[in-house]
Amino acid sequence: MVKIATPHKSLLDTFLTPALRVELGARTTRNGFRLSDIVKSGIENPDSSIGIYAPDAHSYAVFSPLFLPVIVEYHGYDVEKSAHKHDLDISVLHLPPLDPEGRFIVSTRVRVGRNLKNFPLVPGISDMQRKEVERKTVSALRTLKGGLAGTYYPLTRMSEKARQKLVSDHFLFKQGDRFLESAGANRHWPSGRGIFHSKDKRFLVWVNEEDHLRIISMETGGNLLSVFERLVRAIKTLEEKLVFEYSPQLGYISSCPTNLGTAMRASVHVKLPRLSAQKNFKKICADLGLSVRGLHGEHSESKEGIFDISNKRRLGISEVEIVKQLHKGVERLIHLEQKL
């Protein structure tokens, strides 16, 4: 969940008028979720910038008078006028090396969120349903071959020492923050949750974190095409065994409306000590369609001039377009850094 400094109005506060609250108050989804389930996190956390989570995919239809304006405002994309784009064709990508001498880019990572069809999303799922999602996912993961093959480690059977090692190496997720806690995503922790990783740890899958699956490809250096190709290979294999929630307008369904569309975040950790010292650094990135974070996520600090640079848009843009945009943007940032 994105959060910004108070005082402010969250998008929930902006769009949930008294009249709309009355209009939506009696509605329920096919799984029995109500408006109170959707807005609970935003009400309990007034400094939330979004304020709503979907407990199931049906919520986006039943409570569309609330979700749609939030989606349009956040993504800057009118889902009622256009269909979402989906494109995993890596054959159209021709990406020259971003950092052939290894002077700037520390690592590259691309991840997507996915949720299994016919199950509630993480904020609304029961413990029994969560375990069934885990079972189906692990069964599909066992079909991966070659460099994608690996081992699944359930959190319930992981030693504290092993867990801490994976967390400190930034491979494993931790229990959700207070925003996710209020949304219901931490219930029955750590039951039904775990991590799958390949032998070389360049391919990971988080099970039942904020979404049913977070599929992650990563490696040191700046070979964005290699990282994306590995991710696409994994997605296509998993799609042979699992059916994911998808909407022609909203793309891949996620519990947080900020992750709709491609549900994809492509990022690099890149050294920009001189450029980042410029007052307009974040504006330069924003103009390139990029977001800036510190090394350990939102609101964290940079270290030695290293920043996490990623795509800003997820909805109304395809996966291939995101990769092209990130490549072009990072190429420009490195060029500007070299000029200073």
Q: Which residue ranges are tagged as binding site?
A: 107-111, 170, 214, 265-269, 293-298
- Of 111, 130, 202, 313, the active-site residue reads 111
111 is catalytic: yes
In contact, 219 and 130? CB cutoff 8 Å: no
H helices within 169-251, ranges in order? Answer: 178-183, 224-239
List the one residue out of 239, 31, 194, 212 whose CA is nearest residue 133: 212
Query: In whole angstroms, how far apart are CA 336 and each of 35, 222, 292, 310, 330?
Result: 48, 17, 16, 17, 10
Distance in angstroms (rounded) separating the CA atoms of residues 29 and 74: 24
List for the chain the helix, strand, coil content (%; round to 5). Answer: 40, 20, 45
- Of 293, 321, 331, 332, the active-site residue reads 293
130 is catalytic: no
- Of 130, 233, 265, 314, the active-site residue reads 265
List the one residue out of 211, 225, 274, 209 whose CA is nearest residue 108: 225
293 is catalytic: yes
Query: In whole angstroms, how far apart are CA 156 and each of 33, 79, 168, 260, 316?
Result: 28, 40, 18, 29, 38
214 is catalytic: yes
17 is catalytic: no
Across 115-173, the runs of DSSP E, i.e. the strands, are: 150-154
Binding-site residue set for ATP: 107-111, 170, 214, 265-269, 293-298
210 is catalytic: yes
Rg for the chain (alpha carbons), in Å?
20
DSSP H or E segment with residue 251: strand 251-252
Which amino acids are annotated catalytic? 111, 210, 214, 256, 258, 265, 293, 298
